[in-house]
Amino acid sequence: MRDYKSLAHTHYDCKYHIVFIPKYRKKVIYGKIREYLGEIFHELASHRESKIEEGHLMGDHIHMCISIPPKYAVSKVVGYLKGKSAIMVARLFGKKRRKFKGESFWARGYFVSTVGLDETMVREYIKHQEERDKYFDQPGLPL
């Protein structure tokens, strides 16, 4: 049986697979930034009544399976996550104590797809993302 959530007049199960990258796909998500982003994404998602069901931070991209209520547009939630996390990273790690303006930590776009009935497959893919990347980084593998 599916785990449906509810609002005042709605029962829903809206989950999305979201992927986004840092600017220029630089490998900057490691160490303290990686630990901090993991915590902050969960907190920011809760501000929009959303929940990150599964997530994995790689050096140059982020995968997450997130549940978003139908009253919020996916683009608004992703924009909020990326915008606020960029400000916090700049303040904590980039020596930007004042307003963060004119620079960005994340690249402009993102990938999104609905999870639907393939949730277990998507969650397993996200969990084992690191092993898959190591396999494809081996020299001499055919494409």
Residues known to be catalytic:
125
**CA distance between the termini of the chain:** 39
3-state secondary structure of 121: helix
The answer to whether 56 and 63 are in contact (CB under 8 A) is: yes
Query: For residue 20, which of 90, 119, 86 has the smallest C-alpha distance?
Result: 86
3-state secondary structure of 19: strand
Q: Which amino acid is at 123?
A: R
As given in the structure block, the two tokens for residue 80 are: 């909020």
Cβ within 8 Å of residue 92, ≥6 positions away: 36
User: Of all helices (H) and strands (E), which one includes residue 11?
Assistant: strand 11-12
